[in-house]
Amino acid sequence: MDTKTKYYKDNALRFLHSYNVGAINLENIYDILKAQEYRVVRYNTFEENASVEMLLSELELKEYSLRNKAFTYKNGSIKIVFIDDSLLEEDKLYALVHEEGHIFCGHMERNTCSALNVEDEHEANEFAHYVLNPPVVYRIGRTIRAHKRISIAAVSVIALAILIPIVGMNTQAALLRNSNEYAKTLDYYVTESGEKYHREDCRIIQGKDNVRRITEEEYNSGKYEPCKVCNP
């Protein structure tokens, strides 16, 4: 394996490990982009949106939307990934992972708009390829870890199934009480504008200053969904 190929693979694996994802899909790439404070804007929609056209014109990006199926724009606090809504779902996934490559590989730290540099485009292409087709070793590792979690869960279920009849209803009631107490003290956190709850060490909320612990009422309300990055 040449040095450049190893570099591209390592970058993709670093991304997958950083966000704790196995098989990348549209749902989790949207979540990751949102966590990075990038807004996804669709153009060429079935019903053309005048506000999108105005945004493209104001940012002087109309030509980009005509030449590209997806591109990323960053200027100060304005962080947007534009994508052609007429793409097929699998093409949208590739395009968004490609744009994530520009972000994760640091291209947007020196560029206002992606697709400006041939070398950056090549690196983003390689990033997308290896993220969507991770090395066999990584896939095997994910499978083993998944089987371990399933096995541990299965053993726990069997153990409880054996234990509860033996110790009787008092122990069963105690287990239920303990379960309820555990739910009251879950160590989960949310951001003021977020819709998901995260573990304290989740990369998505690291460094944010609007993070707070979720209340018992909020947790039980169903208002927040579990983060797919730290609660896969």
Query: Going residue by residue through the chain (232 aa), what tens digit of pLDDT does each one get?
Result: 578 888 888 889 999 989 987 778 999 999 999 999 999 999 988 766 788 999 999 999 999 999 999 999 999 999 999 999 999 999 999 999 999 999 999 999 999 999 788 899 999 999 999 999 886 655 555 555 445 555 555 556 555 666 566 555 555 555 455 445 444 446 788 888 888 888 888 888 887 878 888 888 888 888 888 888 887 6
Is there a domain that residue 140 lies in? no
C-alpha distance across the termini of the chain, in Å: 32
Tell me if 216 sits within 8 A of 188, measured CB to CB: no
pLDDT value of residue 80? 97
Among residues 228, 4, 2, the alpha carbon closest in space to that of 123 is found at 4
Radius of gyration of the chain (CA): 22
CATH of the domain at 17: 1.10.10
DSSP state of 208: -
Same domain, 178 and 78: no
Residue type, 83: I
Q: How far is CA 62 from CA 31, 56, 88, 108, 151, in A?
A: 26, 5, 22, 19, 53
Place of tokens 């069997």: 158
Going by their DSSP bridges, the two strands 188-191 and 211-213 should be labelled as: antiparallel
Among residues 230, 10, 232, 8, the alpha carbon closest in space to that of 137 is found at 10
Is there a domain that residue 75 lies in? yes
Same domain, 18 and 130: yes
Same domain, 127 and 209: no
Is there a domain that residue 144 lies in? no
- What residue numbers bound the domain in which 191 lies? 174-232
pLDDT value of residue 137? 52
Among residues 37, 13, 32, 39, the alpha carbon closest in space to that of 230 is found at 32
Structure tokens at 194: 């977020």
Distance CA 65, CA 69 (A): 7
Same domain, 127 and 180: no
Distance CA 51, CA 54 (A): 5
Dihedral angle, C-alpha 197, 201, 203, 209, nearest 10 °: 70
Same domain, 95 and 23: yes
**pTM score:** 0.60
pLDDT value of residue 117? 85
Domain count, the chain: 2
User: Among 81, 115, 134, where does a domain finish?
Assistant: 134
